[in-house]
Amino acid sequence: MLNRLTRTASIFKRFSSNMSEQAAAATAAGASAKNASKKSKLQVSLKTPKGTKDWADTDMVIREAIFNTLSNIFKRHGGVTIDTPVFELREILAGKYGEDSKLIYDLKDQGGELCSLRYDLTVPFARYVAMNNIQNIKRYHIAKVYRRDQPAMTKGRMREFYQCDFDIAGAYESMVPDAECLSILVEGLTGLGINDFKIKLNHRKILDGIFQIAGVSDEDVRKISSAVDKLDKSPWDVVKKEITEEKGQSEETANKIGEYVKLNGSLQEVYDKLNSDPEIVANEKATQGLADIATLIKYADAFGIDKFISFDLSLARGLDYYTGLIYEAVTSASAPPKNATELKKKSKEDEDASAYVGVGSIAAGGRYDNLVNMFAEASGKKSVQIPCVGISFGVERIFSLVKQRAAAAAAIKPTATQVFVMAFGGGKDWTGYLPERMKVTKQLWNAGIEAEYVYKAKANPRKQFDAADKSGCPLAVILGKEEYLENKLRVKRLGPEFADDDGELIDANELIPIIKEKLSQVHQDGVNEVTRLIRGL
């Protein structure tokens, strides 16, 4: 019996010891996990994803001004706005962008649908037209798009960026909508103070005709187009090597393509050269394109935009959906540096590409007559041919050019505040006139005037002036302790140059008209700083 009790006690002791060890281990593991959890929570990378950025302060003011300038132009041309989802079914986007399809952001399956972030605003628009059986529409759309491209942040080349699109869908007389889109392109850029640009223009049918003449098979046309489209970044020798070695074309074919894609000049000059070329004139596709160019020459002259256009046969635009006229706007900042190859070798692969790339095209577009019909047929709808043409402005790239106007950009303030309402007084009975300041501010708001005041009952004069200075507003309305009791207000200009100016004492009932008059005098020629920056004044 004693032996049995001894053995039982021994077993219990060992069991208790094991349990204690396990409990201690569990406690230690729990503590370790808790510490690891705490540690992991502290180890957050406070950064935006590669190719994206936060927008704030004066940058937002400038970007909003760009949006407003472009949307006003779109409305002037009869545009109505729409919005589409930021992601589309993957099958909607698939096969529309040629070699650039690899840049599409695919999303994880979230409930039975494979989706992707939109790559541009054109394909979603064509889907919208087909889905809603729209026969004609002038639409504009300002929204973000996404591309897994190598970013160059200071050049406005990003993975998340805004496009401002204007498109015309419907059957109209040849080249009328195309000419209007080109006019919108010119109006948009000149309206943003960008005047040193060229619109490189080509026609997909002329390009396809050239490839046929050179002996390129129909199935190889798009990949050869993609190679030719690199001529704005690479010399002909490099592009020729890609055509022959990577794309499998003969030396003779490449040389024939080279004869044509080096041609550029005014619409009339290049048209005359092509129209006198027996091989071009004998090619059905090329002659169809030439007929469009002949019509466009008259319309471009009517709109007064021909001086901005360069007929450039090297322009191919790799997107698969273009069927007719194609174009893009470039400036001196569009091209990469001359020593771009050397600079690229010095840069690490994952780094920002700003050092060795240019801004690229700042706007681009073209005609895509088959995209709506493609969606209609694929969905089982009745076949409908809805021709479309459009233009897309790259806001971040344009922004990078506008910001280069350093002096004008420095004058921009982050808030729209025009008037700061203050109160001065003293003594034991001084309350700070907070409700009175709120009342005057409300009067200004009701009149559509941007106004602020300090959120403190008794704010000393220095803090009120500091707050006004921080907001950058040009005027102050001052409630003096005695003056306000006599229904009087003081209106004062703000800024170092007006430090010794006590302002003007006015009747409180005349506040709004006097403020509006003084605000009209504040800005040079009646134009505010944002407008001066945007217009390049």
Q: Which residues are annotated as a binding site for L-histidine?
A: 120-122, 147, 163, 167, 317, 321-322
Instruction: Specify the DSSP class assigned to residue 106.
Output: B
Q: What is the rounded end-to-end Cα distance, in angstroms, of the chain?
A: 108
285 near 208, Cβ under 8 Å? yes
- List for the chain the helix, strand, coil content (%; round to 5): 50, 15, 35
386 near 170, Cβ under 8 Å? yes
Residues tagged in the binding site annotation: 120-122, 147, 163, 167, 317, 321-322
Contact residues for 496 (Cβ-Cβ < 8 A; gap 6+)? none
Distances (CA, A) of 207 to 169, 182, 204, 306, 495: 24, 20, 5, 21, 60
What is the spatial distance between Cα 179 and Cα 184, in angstroms, rounded to a whole number? Answer: 9
User: 90: burial class by Cβ within 10 Å (0-12, 13-18, 19+)?
Assistant: middle
Question: Which residues lie across from 81 on neighbouring strands?
Answer: 140
151 near 157, Cβ under 8 Å? yes
At residue 115, what are phi and psi to the nearest 5 degrees? Answer: -125, 165
Q: What residue has token string 């109505």?
A: 80
CA 450, 451, 455, 461 torsion: positive or negative? positive
> How many Å separate Cα 389 from the centre of its chain?
20
SS (H, E, C) 302-359: HHCCHHHEEEECCCCCCCCCCCCEEEEEEECCCCCCCCHHHHHHHCCCCCCCCCCCCC
CA 257, 260, 262, 267 torsion: positive or negative? negative
